Amino acid sequence: MIATCGEIKPARLSAAHVMEVMHILDAPCFALSTRVIRLVKFRKVLRWLWEEQGAPKLDGYVIRRPGLRPRNVTASREQIDMLLEAAKPALRLMLLICSDLGIRTGTVVKLSPENYDREKEELRFESKKGSKVCLPVTDEIAATLNTLDHENPLPYITQMRIKTNKKAAVKQRAAVVDPVVLRREMKELRESLGITKRIVPHDLRRTAAVELYRRTKDIRIVQSFLGHRSLQATIWYLDHELVQVNKADIEAIKRPFIISRKERTA
């Protein structure tokens, strides 16, 4: 059906066609997140066909899965320190950048001397969505980067891997280390340390974002920190982070509309 849907005229689309496609998109073999995203997109396509191409209104036949909830796993400072202390140099550098600067692993493995301003101690790079990001590095990251060759165009993670692991250097054929390899190494390290909580590198990014929000209470700063174009994407990271409401704030909401007896008689 999907392969031949271009051959079916919009006016001839039927509920049977929708059910056939939906059966494929919503197959149990796919993760729930994948199924939800596919169904939403399919619904949008059907709505467009109805509004623009004269097809019957069929989007109502597409099942609505419960809304996804954001992954809310964060790591404690103790867990992060345990990982950093036991990690090999290349993995440690990745974990340090993820936990201190909240950068995605796919971006971390590509960071090279051309992204780093040694004088200002700032990293400049593009986010996944193309946003320009500039972040000051922590003293610990600056000290680590200063041990590497800034005249070498290879990414810092690659340089560290070659410098400190001869076996890895022999196997390292690509300029960029595969993030999957580092994620697997982190999993093995976590298990060897007896950390039962399933922490993945991206959870360190989330942890940094949550801690920054707790400190600043400014979601726009967190948005800039994460390099998000959309504020909604930032809210997704913090969706589970409920803040205690103060009674004084609730009282202040009604204050402009209430004149106390004392004020009226003054």
Please list the rounded mean pLDDT of every run of 10 residues in the chain (266 residues): 55 87 88 84 91 89 79 92 96 97 95 96 89 93 96 95 76 80 95 95 94 92 92 82 70 60 47
Q: Give the domain 77-238 fold.
A: hpI Integrase; Chain A (1.10.443)
Surface-to-core class of residue 85, CB atoms within 10 Å of its CB (0-12 exposed, 13-18 middle, 19+ buried): exposed
Indicate the residue type of 263: E
What region, left, alpha or beta, does residue 259 occupy, with left being phi > 0 and alpha being psi -120 to 50 degrees? beta
133 touches 127 (CB < 8 A): yes
Indicate the residue type of 157: I
Q: Residue 242 has what pLDDT?
A: 61
Backbone angles phi, psi at 123, to 5 degrees: -105, 135
Q: Residue 4 has what pLDDT?
A: 44
Q: Residue 199 has what pLDDT?
A: 95
Q: Residue 161 has what pLDDT?
A: 92
Contacts of 130 (CB under 8 A, 6+ apart): 229
Backbone angles phi, psi at 47, to 5 degrees: -65, -40
DSSP state of 31: -
161 touches 88 (CB < 8 A): no
d(CA 62, CA 18): 7
Ranges in the chain annotated CATH 1.10.443.10 = 77-238
- The pTM (predicted TM-score) of the whole model is 0.71
Q: Residue 33 has what pLDDT?
A: 76
